[in-house]
């Protein structure tokens, strides 16, 4: 659970930060969006196989894999949400004398919340699944219990790992739905 929460917090913070930066620097946004699109198509097990020879086994490589995999959807959705704002709103805000940061705060963010939260919710589901798979490289947690149960054909262990993982996924979805409702009122 610690790995999931830590990865999610870092992914949200850096994903939104780089999403904001990307709307003003086209040379930055194109490579990030391209990498995000490519990463979506690569299975998690392949990413793990590519990272382990470089970073090794344990908690940090698992954190890196989970963070990187979940960071990109948040960047992409933040970029899309902030970029696809009606130009009339931006022009009106500029005409009223708002600075770029005021436009982000008062115009772009409120209109981009649905897209940003879609990226965060998608990432939270990715993180939950990737945290289980990274047990193969020593991250521990519920994934370790699930894999121990699978290798020993122990149904009780499998359920001891899978049922909490399902509840974590449901909790994350409900939590971010409620948070989204508060932000989009």
Q: Coil, helix or strand for 185?
A: coil
pLDDT in tens, 60-95: 888 888 888 888 889 989 999 998 888 888 889 889
- Take residue 163 and report the two structure tokens written for it: 């049922």
Q: Residues 116, 73: contact at Cβ < 8 Å?
A: no
Q: How many CB atoms lie within 10 A of CB 90?
A: 15
pLDDT in tens, 157-185: 999 999 998 998 899 889 988 988 888 77
- pTM for the full model? 0.83
DSSP state of 138: T
């Amino acid at each position: 659970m610690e790995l999931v929460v830590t990865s999610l917090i870092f992914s949200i913070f850096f994903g939104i930060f780089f999403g904001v930066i990307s709307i003003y620097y086209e040379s930055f946004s194109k490579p990030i969006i391209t990498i995000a699109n490519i990463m979506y198509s690569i299975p998690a097990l392949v990413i793990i196989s590519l990272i382990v020879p470089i970073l090794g086994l344990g908690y940090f490589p698992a954190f890196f894999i989970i963070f990187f995999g979940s960071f990109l959807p948040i960047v992409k959705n933040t970029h899309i949400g902030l970029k696809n704002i009606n130009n009339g709103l931006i022009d009106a805000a500029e005409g009223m004398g708002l600075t770029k940061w005021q436009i982000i705060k008062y115009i772009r963010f409120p209109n981009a919340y649905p897209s940003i939260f879609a990226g965060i919710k998608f990432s939270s589901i990715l993180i939950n699944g990737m945290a289980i798979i990274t047990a193969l490289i020593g991250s521990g947690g519920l994934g370790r219990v699930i894999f121990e149960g699978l290798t020993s054909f122990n149904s009780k262990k499998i359920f001891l790992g899978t049922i909490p993982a399902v509840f974590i996924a449901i909790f994350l979805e409900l939590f971010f739905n409620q948070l989204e409702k508060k932000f989009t009122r």
